[in-house]
Copies of this chain bind each other. A is one copy, B any other.
Amino acid sequence: MKKVDCKISDAEWIVMKVLWEEAPLTAAKIIEAVSSNKTWSPKTIHSLINRLVKKGALGVNKEMPHYEFYPLVDKKDCIQEETRTFIQKVYDGSIHLMLANFIKDEKISEKEIEELQRLLDEKVNE
């Protein structure tokens, strides 16, 4: 998997998430999967797929009766890059500020809090 060097737009993320879930897939399959969340025209989804190929985020296998697409960039990398950008923009790059703000402000259930505490404990004992 290549490092992410490209920006993936909001709409494109939806397509990428389908292929990170399962790949390779034909355009038809992708359209089917995306359509459960979005009411886009198949044409629109084709456009997004092609842009992602052009960007280097997707690869194509043309040796098939119908092209098959698969991710060329790693999901974890993309998430981290996206997160980094977001935290930079909103929290001046401070992860800590972000998490603190988050824990303070958001509605998190008791159970989730316990779960997070467990995760933190694990982290400590690594």
Binding site for B on A (CB under 8 A): 10, 13, 17, 76, 79-80, 82-83, 85-86, 89-92, 95-96, 99-106, 108, 110, 112-113, 115-117, 119-120, 123-124
- Please, how many angstroms separate the alpha-carbon atoms of A82 and B102 in the complex? 12
A112-B96 in contact (CB<8A): yes
Tallying the copies of this chain within the complex gives: 2
A13-B123 in contact given A96-B112, A99-B102 (Cβ < 8 Å): no
In the assembled complex, which residues on chain B have CB atoms less than 8 Å from the CB atom of A102?
83, 95, 99
A96-B108 in contact given A113-B123, A119-B103, A124-B113 (Cβ < 8 Å): yes
In the assembled complex, which residues on chain B have CB atoms less than 8 Å from the CB atom of A80?
105
A119-B100 in contact (CB<8A): yes
A116 CB → nearest B CB, Å = 6
A-B contact pairs, 18 of them (CB 8 A): A10-B89, A13-B90, A79-B90, A79-B101, A82-B89, A83-B86, A95-B106, A96-B112, A96-B115, A96-B116, A99-B103, A99-B112, A99-B116, A100-B119, A108-B123, A110-B124, A113-B120, A116-B120
